[in-house]
Amino acid sequence: MENTLGHILHEKGWILADGAIGTQLFNMGLQSGDAPELWNDLQPEKIRKLYRSSIDAGCDLFLTNSFGSNSCRLKLHNKEREDFRLSKLSAELGREEIGKEKRKIVLAGSMGPTGEILQPLGALSFKDAVEVFHIQAEGLKEGGADILWIETISHLDELRAAIDAAKLAEMEWCGTMSFDTSGRTMMGITSKEFSKNISEMDYKPLAYGANCGVGPSDLIRTLLGFEDLRLPIIAKGNAGIPKYADGKIRYDGTPELMASYACLARDAGAKIIGGCCGTTPEHLTLMRQALEGQKPMTKPSIDEIIEKLGPLSSNSDGTDLENMKGPRRLKRKRRL
Ligand SMILES: [Zn+2]
C-alpha cells in the first residue's frame, strides 16, 4: 500500500480512527433533525473544532463531515443540489487542519447510506444510486480526501453502488457495515457473508470491517466472524449501548470501557480502531494510551469479551447457522 494509510499501518501496526461526529456536533448545539453537513457551510469553525479534537486526541485517521451529503439525504432539507459542494467543503476543512500538523494523518471521505431502499424492494435504481454516490465522491476528492470511507451500510447492493462510485472517481476506499440485528445487518448480512463478498470483488478495499451496531461487545464478536482476507480489519464500535432517556439517545460507555474495547478489538484482529456513536475525544485519548501501553494478545473468547465489556445483545451472530448450511448444501449437490 503506497498510500498514507498503508504507510502508518506499516510503521505502527495499527491506526487510531476517530469517534462519533454526530455525538460531538449535538454537544456543539446541532438539533436533532438538522443536517450536520450544512454546518460545513454555515458553521465551519465548529467543523474545524470537531476535526481538531480528533487530531489532538491522537487520531491517525478521521472522517469528513459528509456522512449524509448525498442528494437523497439532502433532499429532505431541500439541499439536494448542494451535494458536491458540501462534500467538497467537508474535505477542504479537514485538509486545512491536517496541513497544520507535522505527522501523517489520513483524511477519509465519509459516505453513509442514501436512506433509500434499492430496487426491487424500494424505488431507487442501482444506476441512480451509483450516480448519487459518484457526485459525493467527486466532491470529497476535489476537497482533498485521501480515500473514501463507505460506512454504516446494511445492504450489499448499496455497498456495491458506492464502490462503483469510488471506482468512477478513481478513489481508493474502505468500507464498514453495521451489524445491529442479532449480529446481522438490518438487511440480514452476517460478518462472514460480508467477508465473502469482499473477497469476490474486483475493486478491493484498503480495509473493511464493522461500525456502529449495538454495543462494543457485539462489535468485537462481529470481528471474530470475519474471514482472513489479508486485508486490514476496521473496528468502529459505539461507546456503550444506546439507551433512550429524556427524549434523547445516550451512550453510557466510559473512556475506560472503550480503552478495553480498543485493545480487545486489536486482539480480535482489527488494525484500524476507532469509535462510533457516543465516542468523544476523552474516549479516544484513553483508547490511544491503552493501545500504546498494552501488548497485543491472542484472540479473546466470548466469555472474555462479556467479562470486560458487558453482555451481548443476542446469543448468536448468525455465523454458526451458516456453518450448518455448508454440509446441507453439499448433500444436495451429491444427490444431483
Ligand atoms: Zn454509530
Q: What are the cell numbers at 223?
A: 470481528
According to the model, what pLDDT value does residue 73 have? Answer: 98
Neighbours of 297 (CB within 10 A): 12
Q: Say how many Å lie between the CA of residue 20 and the centre of ligand 1.
A: 7
Going by C-alpha positions, the residue among 280, 203, 191 that lies closest to residue 240 is: 280
Write down the CATH number for the domain with range 4-335: 3.20.20.330
Q: Say how many Å lie between the CA of residue 332 and the centre of ligand 1.
A: 41
Q: What are the cell numbers at 172?
A: 481508493
According to the model, what pLDDT value does residue 323 have? Answer: 52
Q: Say how many Å lie between the CA of residue 10 and the centre of ligand 1.
A: 28
Contact 108, 61 (CB under 8 A): yes
Q: Identify any residues that bridge with 212 across adjacent strands, giving them in sequence order.
A: 237
DSSP 318-336: SHHHHHHHHHHHHHHHHH-
pTM reported for the whole predicted model: 0.94
End-to-end CA separation in angstroms for the chain: 45
Residue 96, burial from CB neighbour count under 10 angstroms (0-12, 13-18, 19+): middle
According to the model, what pLDDT value does residue 322 have? Answer: 58
Per-residue tens of pLDDT for the chain, all 336 residues: 468 999 999 999 999 999 999 999 999 999 989 999 999 999 999 999 999 999 999 999 999 999 999 999 999 999 999 999 999 999 999 999 999 999 999 999 999 999 999 999 999 999 999 999 999 999 999 999 999 999 999 999 999 999 999 999 999 999 999 999 899 999 999 999 999 999 999 999 999 999 999 999 999 999 999 999 999 999 999 999 888 888 778 899 999 999 999 999 999 999 999 999 999 999 999 999 999 999 999 999 999 999 999 999 999 999 987 554 444 343 343 433
Burial 155-191 (b: 16+ CB within 10 A, else e): bbbbbbbbbbbbbebebbbbbbbbbbbbbbbebebbb
Q: Say how many Å lie between the CA of residue 13 and the centre of ligand 1.
A: 25
Q: Say how many Å lie between the CA of residue 214 and the centre of ligand 1.
A: 8
CA distances from 193 to 83, 94, 166, 212, 322 (A): 31, 34, 22, 18, 9
- Strands (DSSP E) found in 25-157: 61-63, 106-111, 147-153
Q: At what angle do helices 302-309 and 255-267 cross, to 10 degrees?
A: 160
Q: Say how many Å lie between the CA of residue 52 and the centre of ligand 1.
A: 20
